[in-house]
Amino acid sequence: MRLILHIAAYWLILTVRDAIPKTHVLATAEFATLRLRLLKLGSRVIETASRVRLAFAAACPDARLIHHLAAGLMPAAP
C-alpha cells in the first residue's frame, strides 16, 4: 500500500511539473523544490456550495502560477 501511495504522489507531482509553462523557472525544478514552493503554501480556504476558493497572501510570489495550474489541470466539462 505504501508503494502505491508513493507512486500516486510521484505521478501527481510529475503532472503538476508538466503543466507548468516551459518559460517559467519552476518548469525544470526538482520535486523537492516544487513541494516547497507550490504544495507547502499557506492560504485561506473558502468553501461554498458550488466551489472552493483559495485566498493567498498579497505577497505570494507564485499565486499566478498556481492559478494557471489549477485552470490547466481542471477536467474538461462533459
Distance of CA 56 to the CA centre of its chain: 13
Is the pLDDT reported for residue 42 higher than 90?
Answer: no
**pLDDT digit string, tens, across residues 53-73:** 888 888 888 888 888 888 888
Percent of the chain's residues with pLDDT above 90: 17
Q: Which residues constitute the domain of residue 67?
A: 2-73
Structurally, the chain folds into a number of domains equal to 1
34 is a domain residue: yes
The region of weakest confidence among 10-14, 30-34, 35-39 is 35-39
| Contact present, 51 and 45 (Cβ < 8 Å) | no
65 is a domain residue: yes
Would residue 29 be called left, alpha or beta, if left means φ above 0 and alpha means ψ between -120 and 50 degrees? beta
Please tell me whether the overall predicted TM-score, pTM, comes out greater than 0.75 for this model: no
Query: ∠10-21-34 over CA atoms, to 5°?
Result: 35
78 is a domain residue: no
61 is a domain residue: yes
6 is a domain residue: yes
39 is a domain residue: yes
Bridge partner list, 53: 46
